[in-house]
Amino acid sequence: MHGQPAYAAYPMYGAGAAYGGAYGMPTGGAYGGAGYAQPVAGYSDQHAQYYGQNVYAQQMQQLQQQPQAAPAQPTAPSEAQLKAVVDCLSSPEKLRASAQSFFSAHDKDGSGELSLDEIGTCIAHIQRKLNLPPTPPSLNVKLVHRFDKSGDGKLDFPEFCALFMALLRRVRDKYADSVTAAVGKQAFTGQKAAGKIQDSYEFVKKLGQGAFGEVFLVTEKSSGRQRVCKTVSKSNAGGTPLDEVKDEIRKLAMLDHPNVLRVFEYFEDYAKLYIIMEPSSGGELFDAIEKKAKTGQRLSEAWVAGVFKQMLEAINYAHTNNIAHKDLKPQNILLGSDSSDDAPSVVVIDWGLAEMFGSTRRGRQIGGTPYYMAPEVWMGNYGYKCDLFSCGVILYQLLTGELPFEGRSIEELQQKILYAEPDWNCLSHVSTEAMTLCRWMLAKQERQRPSAQNALKSQWFQLAAKKVQPLGQRAVDGIKAFAEKDHFQKTALTAVVAQLSTSSLREIKCVTFRCRFCICLFSLFCVCGDAFKEYDDDGNGVLEEVEILGALKKLGVEGDAAKKAVEAMDMDKTGKVTYSEFMAACVSMNADLVESTLWSAFKQFDKDGSGTLSPAEVQQILGGGQLKHMLPGGKSAEQLVSEMSGGRSEISFDNFRQHIMGC
């Protein structure tokens, strides 16, 4: 941005901006109008540059050139057809069988994939079966793009099955009078099926308000911990079925990574959803850029590499879990420290919530912040790699203090993002590796951009390499001690970790603690997320068995002892260790932190709200009856309850606390 600093291009935020903006609650301003939702038209020569390798864009261009058919007469499914749709959606087996029937009927070449033409024919087949009016082919193209993870214009069966479910949900929600699935309750994060939010949280103050609802600072009554509550009206879901909105919230709640803001749970009433998230305590990356721009300075390349690597690690983890951000910008990147000398910890916030509660369906709305939007987002058809383009814009801005694309109007900005190149001379002062990565991510074509995983392989990130503290005997002892804990204790600690914020986990230091069950695996690491990621060789956000065994070998733990430690941390028996599983072996070093959160864990285990844990509830905690493999000596739930309660038939909270804390 020549002639003015980068920060001058942004609308100024008022009080509560860190929450109103950070949690996806826009307050209007330069980007709030609906006029940006229209694809650009009338640039036929330049269109060839963009459409060259984008299979969806080619399809859309062809469809726009075809004469439009007269609108079909509205029809509706019969009562019997609607009942069949509802029954299908209520049974995963029926849903899969029905999807398989349609898929096989249209997979003419037996390739195991459906082309765009085959999918269009299949959708028309489904619509005829349900007595529905046909949808425009352009809408089908946009719908397919949503589920095509590889971007090759084809859907395999799992992708088609997801599309099929989305179609049926839309039919049900449009034509059925009132069909709402019950909100489930998982063990540690995600949802609450019963109870008012006011029973669990006290509303402290309002932090922001925007087009989708309001943001409040709240306090959890059981623990006194501060949370952020985002309220959204169900009516703002637009054409998106409520089930899909809830699915997205569940996915967000299951994200488990040191660089991802935590979503804990949600409540609902007849009108609203209440999403509970951790508060964001750090400053925005935007502030760091603005501070340097005001003084005419640049951020150091090593600092940028350290911050940017953490960003990409969060993006890679989310993409691996089928979640795209779609609105990456410096305001959605929070820093755990204001230091510009050492790379601070990074947390990425506001995952996909703005699009989830948009006023129109996906593909019909241009979402995001214009300066950071990929070409395909402007064209209305985009996938996961739109996040990589946004990352490229952020990287360019971090390295230069300027934006790669600017315009005096939204239309001019749109044209430059679609067809113009940034001024690469602005990067003449940076390393070749930084320049290469930035160019790669700012490629106009999706297919020419790297995935987040491939971007992380850039040699540039050697600048951000950190030396690991040498580990002593205490850490070795901690690993062995954790392996000896019983499954109930480890499960409870996992529940505790699931309710802690990333900032709380980062604050765990090398201190003495009184828990007799565990000398922390993490005791010689001062920052927990760094250790977890240090061992995560492939950057996928989980520790594979081979990664953990390699790390343990460096600590001098090998053979049966190492395997036992891995099995102890792998709570869900997937062969992988998640961030929370790793931290469950670490968090008990801070007795105060654990004790303040134990009541939340206890309430989640207490399914009937009686204030005690019955043998049936203990058995459910431990995995539905596989106690022989989970408790020393094959104890039953009844025996464990009797031991923990001093011979009584149920476990009180005091019994529970004493068993976990060892005091």
Catalytically active residues are 327
Number of neighbours of residue 111 by Cβ within 10 angstroms: 11
Q: What DSSP string describes 564-603?
A: HHHHHH-TT-SSEE-HHHHHHTTGGGSHHHHHHHHHHHHH
The amino acid at 585: A
SS3 state of residue 506: helix
Query: What is the rounded end-to-end Cα distance, in angstroms, of the chain?
Result: 61
Number of neighbours of residue 526 by Cβ within 10 angstroms: 14
How many Å is the maximal CA-CA distance in the chain?
A: 83
Tell me how far apart the alpha carbons of residues 318 and 326 are, in angstroms, rounded to a whole number.
12
Give the burial string for 85-104 (b: 16+ CB within 10 Å, else e).
Answer: beebbeeeeebbebbeebbe
What residues does 226 pair with on adjacent strands?
Answer: 219
The closest alpha carbon to 260, from 350, 337, 348, 322, belongs to 348
What distance lies between CA 251 and its chain's CA centroid? Answer: 7
What 8-state DSSP symbol labels residue 613?
Answer: B
The amino acid at 455: A
The closest alpha carbon to 502, from 426, 399, 579, 434, belongs to 579
Start-end of H helices in 484-544? 487-498, 502-506, 528-535
Tell me how far apart the alpha carbons of residues 444 and 449 are, in angstroms, rounded to a whole number.
8
Tell me how far apart the alpha carbons of residues 373 and 384 are, in angstroms, rounded to a whole number.
12
Number of neighbours of residue 42 by Cβ within 10 angstroms: 6
Check the annotation: does 230 bind a ligand. Answer: yes
Tell me how far apart the alpha carbons of residues 166 and 595 are, in angstroms, rounded to a whole number.
43
List Cβ neighbours of 45 (8 Å cut-off, separation of 6 or more): none
Tell me how far apart the alpha carbons of residues 262 and 506 are, in angstroms, rounded to a whole number.
13
Binding-site residues from annotation for ATP: 230
Q: Could you tell me which residues are annotated as the binding site?
A: 230
